[in-house]
Amino acid sequence: MKTLLLTHPLPAKMFADAVHGIEPKLPLLEYRPGLADTELADVEAVLGWRFPEGVAARLPRLRWVCAVGAGVDKLLVPELPPPVRVSRIVDAEQADGIAQFVVLMALRHARKLPVYEAQQRKRQWTRQAIGALRCHVGVLGTGAMGSSVARMLQAVGFQVTGYSRHSGQSLPSVLGGSDIVVCALPLTPQTQGLLDAKTLALMPRGSYLINIARGAHVVEPDLIDAVRSGHLAGAALDVQQHEPLPADDPLWDVPGITITPHIAAQSSPHTIALQFVQGWRCLQRGEAPHNLVDRARGY
């Protein structure tokens, strides 16, 4: 069962080595532009992050797509035939890493670290009120990432409310009651652009946004306006609509917005390879791979 590696921008060799460390004979093909249709004709599986344009339509024998991460949004392309199964990596260590990043950014904001750093530059020794323990955090998304984020935030004393389509709370009430909002949603047509001028306006004045999901959840010009106008205190964006974020992107220059390059957490190549090989073995036995996503739902 030949597998095509579509891991760009992560190096395919890193994954090939990890997979071959577990299953040395597993046939792998590293994608490169210009690969002939004859080389793609017998590909039955993909291990990847995103489909380059037009590639899905050139894989007539494709049966399974395994994402190298938790999110599958860049792999659910319209050309993917309906019977193709799609799975993702479920990694508690990655979820904890994401949660740690969120706690770092939430505490940094709630304990006013940027204020003290600015004061230090001016040699100014001024105490500010401490309100972190009464801080309410709304976590949008209650899946593997959102639950881990909520647990870790609670462990350091934040008051946490989780929001999902089925949580029984309305999005406006969660946004309106949160000093900090964390986006941990899957990216689907329903959640794309969810955080726009209208929804950001529902967040209280002086509140803060942390996005560890996908850049496309946020309408970035609307966020910039919300921060520049002083409605939001700022945002920590580990993900952006355009990655890598171009050097001339206006997000870089907004006081209060912290940009990190999609580093909140990543599964190790070994963990990804282990879960991929498990799925590959399932298919060889005629069984379904683990951690399948519901393609209609998008996660």
- Tell me which residues touch ligand GLV (CB under 6 A): 69-71
Q: What's the min distance (Å) between Cβ of 183 and ligand GLV?
A: 12
Pick from 92, 2, 88, 40: which is nearest to 295 by CA? 88
Query: How many Cα atoms within 13 Å fall on the side-chain side of residue 113?
Result: 8
Nearer to ligand GLV, 70 or 76 (CB): 70
Question: End-to-end alpha-carbon separation of the chain, Å?
Answer: 25
Phi, psi of 250 (to 5 degrees): -65, -20
205: alpha, beta or left, given left = phi > 0 and alpha = psi -120 to 50?
beta
Q: Residue 267's Cα: distance from chain center in Å?
A: 12
Q: Which residues are catalytic?
A: 214, 262
Nearer to ligand GLV, 71 or 162 (CB): 71
Q: Is 260 exposed, middle or buried (0-12, 13-18, 19+ CB in 10 A)?
A: middle
Query: Cβ–Cβ contacts within 10 Å for residue 76, how many?
Result: 22
Query: Cβ–Cβ contacts within 10 Å for residue 284, how many?
Result: 9
Nearer to ligand GLV, 46 or 70 (CB): 70
Two tokens at 72?
A: 């599958």
Nearer to ligand GLV, 3 or 211 (CB): 211
Neighbouring-strand partners of residue 138? 161, 181
Nearer to ligand GLV, 70 or 139 (CB): 70
What one-character DSSP code corresponds to residue 51? P
Q: What's the min distance (Å) between Cβ of 209 and ligand GLV?
A: 17
Two tokens at 187?
A: 């990216």
